[in-house]
Structure 1
Amino acid sequence: MADSPLRFLRELLDPYEPLLDRLFLFGTVYGTWNVFKCCYYVLSGFRRYILRIGASPVTVAKLGEWAVVNGATTSLGTAFALDLAERNFKIILIGNSDTKLQNTAKEIEDVFGTEVFGILADFTQGLRVFEDIKELLTGLEVGLLVNNVAVRYDYPKWFEELSTQRMLHLLNIDVIGASMMTHTLLPQMLKREKGMIINICSSIATAPPTPLMTVYQSAMSYIHTFSQALHYECVGRGVIVQALLPSFVQENTERTSILAPPPHVYARHALNQIGFSSSSSGHWVHALLGWVLQFVPDSVWVWWTRGVNINLRSKGIDEKLVRRTALLNILKHSKDISFEETVTRKRSQSQLAPTLTQESPTIDRRRSHSFQSGNILISKH
């Protein structure tokens, strides 16, 4: 009696035995393939993030004496500049904050004693900015370009909520900025048959569609694809092009997390494993996160990120209203000037701003006569 259920099951499945054999074979092949992929990722990661340390191609001898760090006033940009200065590169900082450029240049000079200067630039001002930068860099042997400049949303937004000005601002900086800087410096690298271009985008570039981050994710995806395509264009021509896809980088030094390495740690790890492929996470923690997330179905990712971003949008709107209310209260209760006068003055200034911009020189020749340490060269007022 005990064997009767098993005998019945065998008799029931007997006609389907050829199909079951095929399914078993398919399952075996599929399982073996996944085990092979897992081993490959583990060994590749070990080779890239462990064995590669100490053998980086990021050296002055292999690339050239100058390194340009775009977006140098951010914490990650500053970390890359400091690490490159430690590797004996002369540093060119590009950013949109005069004070931060001065502070970063001073820190590099004080710590490493290397030659450094800054270029104050606003990438939203159009083609002329890049022409000015090209003129300023003429004659310098630039061996490495780090494109780190990027802007994000203040908080997640529906696509129709983005203002035209904000969308153009994001695209001009994230897409046009990296493309034009690469176009400016790549020819001289190809001519010397040595050089390196590092485009820092974000792990969101390779993630499934992320609602409420449409334009930002699209811009990062462009930088990633642009870097990969350019990488294959430059194969055999002496220039390395690499996309970096960081996840979370620790901005607050008071709080630490193993999932978010500090900027200087990320920069060191990323530079030590450059050259293995056309794109990389830059740090083993981020690579592990990316490997885990690839097993998450796209539908689950879309559902989860949509819910999270809707909540973040609500919080962002609330915080914006609180800040706006506090500002209005300060202006209304000001003893020196009324709220109406403030609005009138701001409108007058905004109307005059384009005229002042047009009349001001593109490059301040008095401050760009030499490339001494700590100089800030004005590429756009």
Structure 2
Amino acid sequence: MSPYDFNSAKLANAVKDITSSLAKELSQAYHNNMEILAVVGASYVAWKGFNLLSGCYGFIKHQIFTRICSNTKTILQYGEWAVVTGASDGIGKAYAEELASLGVNIILLGRSTEKLQNVSESISSTYRVKTRFIVADFSKGPEVFQPIKEALKDVDVGILVNNAGVFYEYPACLLEVPEEKSLDIINVNITAAVMMVYVVLPGMLQRKRGAIINVSSAAGCKTIPMMTVYAASKAFLEMFTRSLQYEYASQGIFIQSLTPLFVVTKMVDFSESFQKKSLLVPLAKEYAHSAVRTIGVSLRTAAYWSHSIQVNMVNDR
């Protein structure tokens, strides 16, 4: 046998040994990785299953339990008066009417004197409760809150509904939105809600009872391009509300975040499809009827049944 033949055979055997060893290592690695992937997969399925069960529980709690155990018959436990901002139209007006139907006196806040007067007179005559209204343009910033504080200083405010909100004329990228509009959104959606809590919360704490309802939005639960400042303002309300819950729930104050999707209101005039009632887009009156029944029951809810399903499907928080 020549040296060349010996070296070739030796090399072939070495390659065979290396290949066999590598195959065994790859097979072992494959089985190990499959075990890891199986664990990861099982964990993911368990996590999604938990979210599904949590969503089902949330739906039952918010949509069924609230109808069985709603405290609407004792809503006056919070106080004689409710303050509703953005009350001349839409959800605010409907919410005020729903509370009035349960015997709560109503104080309406909004920008239009004529609209507020009409709503005030309508609620008073229909539901036989006391009504007042305060004209306040929240887009003006902090200057509007001292007169509100003076007007409410001797009032037994049991419920505050921070509903006032500003949206775009139509969805657009940030730099396509005028600076003034973005500032209006910040002042109305954020500043007004915070300052109204400053106005009414001290009295609630003194009386050791009260309810604060902050109308956020499902837009604050996820990234929403073309509605950047609006969505961010609603995300602020969501975090603001959650923090308040930790701070004051133990002192007898119920604090709730409402996260509706689209409701038939003037705020969504940019789209004809949202101006018609459907399974996914309720009338403001329908939405308010469901929302009021979650007071004292749900700390965070979309309130309306189809909105709850949609929020649970897209929101993992």
State TM-score, norm by structure 1: 0.70
- Residue identity matched to 2:46: T
List structure 1 segments (4+ residues) > 6 angstroms apart after TM superposition: none
Which residue number in structure 1 is paired with residue 170 of structure 2? Answer: 155
Aligned-CA RMSD value: 2.3
Which residue number in structure 2 is paired with residue 231 of structure 1? Answer: 245
Q: 1:33 to 1:220 in 2, by over 3 A?
A: closer
Are 1:51 and 2:65 counterparts?
A: yes
Are 1:281 and 2:294 counterparts?
A: no
- Residue identity matched to 1:229: S
Q: 1:46, 1:188 → 2: CA distance? A: 34
- Residue identity matched to 1:291: N
Q: 1:20 to 1:126 in 2, by over 3 A?
A: closer
Alignment equivalent of 1:30, drawn from 34, 37, 44: 44
Q: 1:44 to 1:168 in 2, by over 3 A?
A: closer
When Rg is computed on C-alpha atoms for both structures, the one with the higher figure is: 2
Which residue number in structure 2 is paired with residue 220 of structure 1? Answer: 234
Which residue number in structure 1 is paired with residue 255 of structure 2? Answer: 241
- Please show how residues 108-123 of structure 1 align to structure 2 within 5 Å: 108-123=123-138
Contact 1:60/1:143 (<8 A) preserved: no
Which residue number in structure 1 is paired with residue 180 of structure 2? Answer: 165
Query: Which digits, 9 at most, give the CA deviation of each residue in 1:270-316, with x for residues without a partner?
Result: 12123444421121211111122248xxxxxxxxxxxxxxxxxxxxx
Which residue number in structure 1 is paired with residue 20 of structure 2? Answer: none
Name the SS for the 1:242 alignment partner.
strand
Which residue number in structure 1 is paired with residue 15 of structure 2? Answer: none
Structure 2 residue runs without a partner (length 5+): 1-23, 266-271
Name the SS for the 2:107 alignment partner.
strand
Which residue number in structure 1 is paired with residue 19 of structure 2? Answer: none
Name the SS for the 1:94 alignment partner.
strand
Alignment equivalent of 1:131, drawn from 146, 154, 167: 146
Q: Percent identity?
A: 34
Contact 1:54/1:272 (<8 A) preserved: no
State TM-score, norm by structure 2: 0.83
Q: 1:193 to 1:27 in 2, by over 3 A?
A: same
Superposed displacement of residue 60, structure 1 = 4.1
- Residue identity matched to 2:35: D
Q: 1:153 to 1:31 in 2, by over 3 A?
A: same
Q: 1:265 to 1:237 in 2, by over 3 A?
A: same
Structure 1 residue runs without a partner (length 5+): 1-10, 296-381
Which residue number in structure 2 is paired with residue 291 of structure 1? Answer: 312
- Residue identity matched to 2:151: L
Contact 1:227/1:278 (<8 A) preserved: no
Q: 1:248, 1:169 → 2: CA distance? A: 21
Q: 1:167 to 1:193 in 2, by over 3 A?
A: same
- Please show how residues 215-364 of structure 1 align to structure 2 within 5 Å: 215-251=229-265, 255-294=276-315
Q: 1:118 to 1:27 in 2, by over 3 A?
A: same
Q: 1:254 to 1:28 in 2, by over 3 A?
A: closer
- Residue identity matched to 2:236: Y
Contact 2:63/2:304 (<8 A) preserved: yes
Which residue number in structure 1 is paired with residue 4 of structure 2? Answer: none
- Residue identity matched to 1:142: V
Are 1:202 and 2:223 counterparts?
A: no
Q: 1:172, 1:184 → 2: CA distance? A: 16
Query: Which digits, 9 at most, give the CA deviation of each residue in 1:209-250, with x for residues without a partner?
Result: x22222111111111111111111112110011111110112
Q: 2:182, 2:290 → 1: CA distance? A: 33
Name the SS for the 2:249 alignment partner.
coil
Q: 2:237, 2:44 → 1: CA distance? A: 33
Q: 2:26, 2:178 → 1: CA distance? A: 63
Name the SS for the 1:235 alignment partner.
helix
Alignment equivalent of 1:65, drawn from 63, 80, 88: 80
Q: 2:311, 2:139 → 1: CA distance? A: 32
Superposed displacement of residue 106, structure 1 = 1.7
Query: Which digits, 9 at most, give the CA deviation of each residue in 1:167-220, with x for residues without a partner?
Result: 222211111111111110011001111000001121101112x22222111111
Name the SS for the 2:250 alignment partner.
coil
Q: 2:151, 2:226 → 1: CA distance? A: 39
Q: 2:110, 2:238 → 1: CA distance? A: 22
Q: 2:99, 2:221 → 1: CA distance? A: 27
Are 1:104 and 2:125 counterparts?
A: no
- Residue identity matched to 2:238: H
